[in-house]
């Protein structure tokens, strides 16, 4: 399978890993009845899950509860291992808005049974991406706002500074657990306000000064 490619700052990157951080906003952890983590909670999605803004996301037939999660996505611009936060910041080369779609019923059942909840996070178009903005064009200061509307109704709104673990912290932490490669993507978690979707729903999201993002549930 050919790895998906993304364009940022005039350069193409092949995506080998999609790393996701869970419970990175206190309100989201609370709304799902989870404890606030002491360190980043990490899971992954395969590159084959990647889709792009405007995609139709088919509601998986083995689930009854498909939910949205809107997030800031980081693009890593070079290989790193065991780096401090300053080096981690330098390794971030671009940003996007992303949807981390989740099968909440599958996830909750797996948690109750004490088994991995990979299948709740991994399915076609489970990771939808906007266009990327390079750090040379714009560098975030965490005052930016995530905003999501579903069928014209506001569902999520929060500033990035509400993240429990900031981008450089996340990248540094991950680099001490595994090698992070050029082209890897890191979903940084979703704020409170997640909810269920139905077929025909239309999602429109944005992160101020970064990108707009759309998807439809089919």
**Residue-level pLDDT, tens digit, the chain, 218 residues:** 688 999 999 999 999 999 999 999 987 767 777 777 888 999 999 999 999 999 999 999 999 999 999 999 999 999 999 999 999 999 999 999 999 999 999 999 999 999 999 999 999 999 999 999 999 999 999 999 999 999 999 999 999 999 999 999 999 999 999 999 999 999 999 999 999 999 999 999 999 999 999 999 99
User: Per the CATH hierarchy, to which homologous superfamily does domain 5-69+84-217 belong?
Assistant: Fumarylacetoacetase-like, C-terminal domain (3.90.850.10)
Tokens representing 149 are 């509307």
% helix / strand / coil in the chain, to the nearest 5?
A: 20, 40, 40
Q: List, in order, residues 6 or more apart from 210 with CB less than 8 Å away.
A: 72, 95, 96, 97, 130, 133, 138, 140, 144
Residue 40 near residue 165 (C-beta atoms within 8 A): yes
Tell me, what's the pLDDT at 29? 61
Q: If you count DSSP H runs as helices and E runs as strands, how many of each does the chain have, helices first?
A: 5, 18
User: Which residue from 137, 120, 154 is spatially nearest to 45, judged by alpha carbons?
Assistant: 120
- How far is 77 from 183, CA to CA, in rounded Å? 6
Q: Is the pTM of this model over 0.75?
A: yes
Neighbours of 35 (CB within 10 A): 9
Residue 69 near residue 145 (C-beta atoms within 8 A): no
Kindly state the helix (H) or strand (E) to which residue 109 belongs, with its residue range: helix 104-113
Q: Using CB atoms within 10 A of its CB, is residue 61 exposed (0-12), middle (13-18) or buried (19+)?
A: exposed
Residue 145 near residue 128 (C-beta atoms within 8 A): no
């Amino acid at each position: 399978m050919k790895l998906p490619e993304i364009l940022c700052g005039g350069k193409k990157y092949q995506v080998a890993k999609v790393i996701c951080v869970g419970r990175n906003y206190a309100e989201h952890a609370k709304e799902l009845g989870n404890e606030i983590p002491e360190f980043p909670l990490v899971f992954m999605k395969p590159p084959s899950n990647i889709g792009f803004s405007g995609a139709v996301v088919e509601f998986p037939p083995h689930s009854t509860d498909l939910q949205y999660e809107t997030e800031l996505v980081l693009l890593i611009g070079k290989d790193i291992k065991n780096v401090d936060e300053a080096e981690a910041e330098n390794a971030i080369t671009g940003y996007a808005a992303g949807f981390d779609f989740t099968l909440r019923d599958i996830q909750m059942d797996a948690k109750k049974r004490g088994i991995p909840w990979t299948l709740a996070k991994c399915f076609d178009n489970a990771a939808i991406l906007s266009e990327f903005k390079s750090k040379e064009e714009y560098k975030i200061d965490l005052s930016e706002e995530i905003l999501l509307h579903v069928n014209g109704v506001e569902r999520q709104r929060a500033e990035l500074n509400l993240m429990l673990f900031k981008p450089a912290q996340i990248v540094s932490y991950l680099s001490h657990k595994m090698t992070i490669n050029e082209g890897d993507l890191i979903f940084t978690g979703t704020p409170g306000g997640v909810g269920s979707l139905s077929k025909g729903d239309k999602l429109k999201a944005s992160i101020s000064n970064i990108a707009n993002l759309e998807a439809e549930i089919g």
